[in-house]
Structures are given as C-alpha cells and as structure tokens.
C-alpha cells in the first residue's frame, strides 16, 4: 500500500522542454553536483501541486498539499482534501494515515533510495551514486537531472529533478507501467527550523491500525 502511494505521490509534473545550452555532464560530475544541491538543505518546507498521468497521457488524479523534510530520513507529506492523506516518517518507520478510511498503516522505512524517492530529499545524499545512474544538463539558471535506478526491483524507471537558481522546482517520475507522476513545488523554504517532533505521528483515537 505504501509503495503504491509513494509511486503516485513522490513523482513529478511533465517539464516544459528547455533549450539546454550546456552539454550533458559525466556521471561523476553529475552526482557531485546533485549532492551539492541537495546537501545545501538540511530541512525543506514547500507547497506542491501534483498530477498523475496514465501511459497514454490522460490525467488520472490532481492533488495539492504541503511537504516538510529533515535529514536524515524524516519527512511529512500532507495531501489536501478531498483526497486527504498524510505520510510521515521519523527515519525508521512510515505512517500512512487515510482519514476517509479511518485507517493508519505502519511500515518500516526501506532505506533504498530507489524504493522511496522521498529519501532523495531527506536521506543520505552521499549514497545517491550507489543507487542511480545520473545525467545532468544545465541551461541558464535551470539544472536538470535524470536518475535511473540500478536496482531492478525499483518502484520507478526514472526520476527527473529540476532545480531553478539552486532550489528544487519540480520532479517527474515514470513507473514500470508507463504512468507519470509530476510534482511542481512552490513557496520552497530552505533550512527552516523543524523539530524532530514534526516527524512522528500521533495515531487518532478510534482508527484502525495496520502494521506491515
């Protein structure tokens, strides 16, 4: 269940074609630059808008919400009503809360980045090159990275990250069945104070709890 949510939640809006003026960079250089950009933010808060597209390009779902991230491994992803859900990790386990179903699912966090794209923002960025083949293009103030998982059991075929002026702008993920999930980030704030308590989940009274 959680993998299915992450497949649709942590993915990305189709990027507008950009006239890249810089040549593609090598794998080592690309990993070093992506590491540098991600390491600049120990914490992140942002609003997001998300669209999931079918393999033929038809819109399947559109949502908005908020994101909070803190290294290492902590994140809170809240999708607004009418499709409200909350995904919270303290770096060791994940809580998925669905208010409509009155249900919380708890699962151990899979630390492999290719299984949990959120770990790209919240995890140990020094290990990115171990998990992905990375390409990098730059045009003006926009830097675009395409990551292809080395793990054959990955939940996605490729993940695209785009930065504008050094700040994460959008993500796009394509899964093995051809669906694309696109996320546009807005009001991004780097390194705001976020206590660890933001990344634990208090289970509401009366809800069903499922441990996987």
Instruction: List, for residues 133-187, the tens digit of each pLDDT value.
Output: 889 998 889 999 998 888 777 777 888 999 999 999 999 988 888 888 899 999 9
Averaged pLDDT, 197-203: 94
Q: 2-211 — its CATH code? A: 2.50.20.10
Averaged pLDDT, 63-69: 94
| Cβ atoms of residues 69 and 188 within 8 Å | no
C-alpha span between 125 and 47 (Å, rounded): 22
Residue 50 pLDDT > 80:
yes
What tokens does 163 get? 């930065």
Rounded to the nearest integer, the mean pLDDT of the chain is 81
Residue 15 pLDDT > 60:
no
Residue 96 pLDDT > 60:
yes
C-alpha span between 13 and 57 (Å, rounded): 12
- Write the secondary structure of the chain as one string of H (helix), E (strand) and C (coil): CHHHHHHHHCCCCCCCCCCCCCCCECHHHHHHHHHHHHHCCCEEEEEEEEEEECCCCCEEEEEEEEEEEECCCEEEEEECCCCCEEEEEECCEEEEEECCCCEEEEEECCCCCCCCCHHHHHCCHHHHHHHEEEEEEEECCEEEEEEEECCCCCCCCEEEEEEECCEEEEEEEECCCCCEEEEEEEEEEECCCCCHHHHCCCCCCCCEEEEC
Q: Return the domain boundaries, the chain.
A: 2-211
What pLDDT, on the 0 to 100 scale, is given for residue 116? 59
What pLDDT, on the 0 to 100 scale, is given for residue 106? 94
Residue 21 pLDDT > 70:
no
Q: What is the pTM of this model?
A: 0.80
* Strand 158-164 versus strand 167-174 pairing type: antiparallel
Percent of the chain whose predicted confidence (pLDDT) is above 90: 46
């Amino acid at each position: 269940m959680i993998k299915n949510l992450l497949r649709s939640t942590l993915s990305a809006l189709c990027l507008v074609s950009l006239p890249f003026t810089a040549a593609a960079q090598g794998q080592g250089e690309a990993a070093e630059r992506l590491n540098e950009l991600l390491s600049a933010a120990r914490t992140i808060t942002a609003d997001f808008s998300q669209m999931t597209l079918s393999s033929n390009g038809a819109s399947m779902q559109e949502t908005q919400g908020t994101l909070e991230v803190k290294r290492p491994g902590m994140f809170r992803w809240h999708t607004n009503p009418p499709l409200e859900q909350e995904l919270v990790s303290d770096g060791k386990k994940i809580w998925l809360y669905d208010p409509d179903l009155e249900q919380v699912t708890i699962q151990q966090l899979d630390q492999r980045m290719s299984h949990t794209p959120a770990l790209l923002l919240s995890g140990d960025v020094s290990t990115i090159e171990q998990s992905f083949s990375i390409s990098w293009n730059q045009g003006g103030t926009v830097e675009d990275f395409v990551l292809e998982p080395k793990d054959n059991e990955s939940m996605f075929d490729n993940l695209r990250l785009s930065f504008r002026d050094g700040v994460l702008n959008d993500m796009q993920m394509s899964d093995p069945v051809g669906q694309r999930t696109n996320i546009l980030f807005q009001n991004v704030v780097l390194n705001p104070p976020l206590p660890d308590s933001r990344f634990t989940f208090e289970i509401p009274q009366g809800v069903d709890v499922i441990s996987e």
